[in-house]
Amino acid sequence: MKGAPRTSAWAAGIAVLGAASAAGAAGYVGSQKCKACHIQQHKSWDATHMAKAFDLLKPGERADAKKKAKLDPAADYTKDAKCLACHTTGYGKGGFKSVEETPTLAGVGCEACHGPGGGYLGDDKMSLKNKEYKRPALLAAGLVSPPTAETCAACHNDKSPFVGPGYKFDFKERKDKGTHEHAKLKYSHD
Ligand code: HEC
Ligand code: HEC
Ligand code: HEC
Ligand code: HEC
């Protein structure tokens, strides 16, 4: 009698885990999908360090910086859960899993700042058929626009091994320097 409730709670836990990972998987589409309609942003983003942030986890990359931060420069951190949340797109949220399974989600992609595209892309949402979409509907579907200091703080915070306590992130300066080229939107979305 004593063991019964424990067993069923355990079984329920497994069922919940399974459901969560299946639902999350549809969310992230990868930056390549955004390129078709946002060539300028894609091209300039592709040239940033953030686009290539996954490579920093490979052995030998930025060896001096790793030594200073007391990390092993020869180690492979590309499968290390402690690093992936900030060097990939959507890790732990149904996005990046591994470079083999989800290669288009390695690095800080569009959706790391703008939210998972699966929610807001589609004929009746953000599309060429609906260029004058209403922004509130897309925001409700998970679009992040414009990203704010808080968006960046998900990664740019003192949990990074390379910055000490008291780290300050200058949002305005970094935004101008480090995201992508910006173009004025052509259509009204109010
Ligand atoms: C099929 C075309 C299409 C695709 C694919 C697409 N977009 Fe868009 N997007 C648009 C159009 C059209 C607009 C409105 C452009 C305008 O007003 O000039 C827009 C606007 C935006 C905006 C501005 C939002 C605002 O504040 O109104 C952001 C941010 C954005 N897209 C990000 C993305 C991201 C990230 C992806 C990939 C996950 C993506 N888009 C994929 C067509 C697309
Ligand atoms: C909380 C988010 C976060 C975590 C966790 C994190 N990083 Fe980073 N990492 C960043 C950010 C943000 C930067 C860029 C810092 C900047 O430019 O201010 C960075 C920069 C780096 C750099 C470049 C450092 C330099 O000075 O050139 C390397 C290498 C790196 N990270 C590796 C790792 C490894 C390996 C791990 C896991 C042990 C890890 N990171 C965990 C957010 C994180
Ligand atoms: C998913 C995690 C993540 C998010 C979200 C994020 N960053 Fe970063 N950012 C990084 C990492 C990791 C690096 C380190 C790249 C390197 O050193 O090569 C970085 C580097 C940068 C750089 C240096 C880029 C370069 O080419 O030298 C700037 C500037 C920057 N981030 C600005 C921002 C701004 C502004 C935001 C928010 C609008 C933001 N970041 C959001 C992880 C993130
Ligand atoms: C590091 C964070 C970050 C990443 C990664 C990022 N963006 Fe943005 N994006 C921003 C910020 C911040 C703004 C708003 C700028 C402002 O407030 O003027 C923006 C604005 C936009 C806009 C509105 C029009 C414009 O040009 O400002 C579009 C469209 C857009 N991004 C598309 C993309 C696409 C497509 C990608 C990937 C190829 C991408 N973004 C990657 C931070 C990011």
Please, what are the domains in the chain? Answer: 29-114 (1.10.1130.10)
CA–CA separation, 4 and 178 (whole Å): 56
Give the per-residue pLDDT at 132: 97
Q: Cα(first)–Cα(last) distance of the chain, in Å?
A: 61
Give the per-residue pLDDT at 7: 43
CA–CA separation, 33 and 120 (whole Å): 13
Give the per-residue pLDDT at 188: 95
CA–CA separation, 136 and 122 (whole Å): 15
Give the per-residue pLDDT at 147: 97
Give the per-residue pLDDT at 26: 52
Selection from 92, 83, 90 nearest residue 161 by Cα: 83
Ligand 3 site, residue 48, Cβ cutoff 6 A: yes
What lies within 8 Å, CB to CB, of 138 at 6+ separation is: 120, 125, 126, 145, 189
CA–CA separation, 159 and 169 (whole Å): 13
pLDDT < 70 positions in the chain:
1-26
What is the phi/psi pair of residue 106, to 5°?
A: -75, 145
C-alpha 120 – ligand 1 centre gap (Å): 9
Neighbours of 96 (CB within 10 A): 26
Report the predicted TM-score, pTM, of the whole model to 2 decimal places: 0.92
C-alpha 103 – ligand 1 centre gap (Å): 22
The overall average pLDDT reported for the chain is 88
Selection from 88, 114, 95, 84 nearest residue 179 by Cα: 114
CA–CA separation, 170 and 22 (whole Å): 37
Give the per-residue pLDDT at 6: 47
Q: Which ligand is nearest to the CA of 172?
A: 3
Ligand 4 site, residue 187, Cβ cutoff 6 A: no
Give the three-state DSSP class for 177: helix
Give the per-residue pLDDT at 20: 35
* 27 to 9, 47, 52, 86, 138: CA distances (angstroms): 28, 25, 21, 18, 14
Taking only the tens place, the pLDDT of each residue in 98-122 is 999 999 999 999 999 999 999 999 9
Ligand 1 site, residue 113, Cβ cutoff 6 A: no
Give the per-residue pLDDT at 120: 97
CB 96 within 8 A of CB 106: yes
